[in-house]
Structure 1
Amino acid sequence: MDDAHSSGVLGECGRGSVSHFHLEGQVDVQVGTLSKAVGVLGGYVATTRDLVDLLIHKGRPFLFSTSHPPGVTAAATAAIEIMESEPELIERLWRNSGRFKQGLNELGFNTGASETPITPVIIGGEAETMRFSDRLFELGVFAQGIAFPTVARGQARVRT
Structure 2
Amino acid sequence: MSDCFDLLKEDFKIYRRPFISQGYYSLLVHRFGRMTRTIGFKPVYFLLRIVHIIFTKLCEIAFGIYIGAHVRIGRRFIIEHFGCIIIHSEAVIGDDVIVRQGVTIGNKVIDHPLDAPVIGNRVNIGAGAKILGKVVIGDDVDIGANAVVITNVPSNSIAVGVPARIIPKKSEIEV
TM-score, structure 1 as length reference: 0.25
Greater share of strand: 2
Between 1 and 2, higher relative CO (CA 8 Å, sep ≥ 6) is seen in 1
Greater share of helix: 1
Larger Rg: 1
TM-score, structure 2 as length reference: 0.23
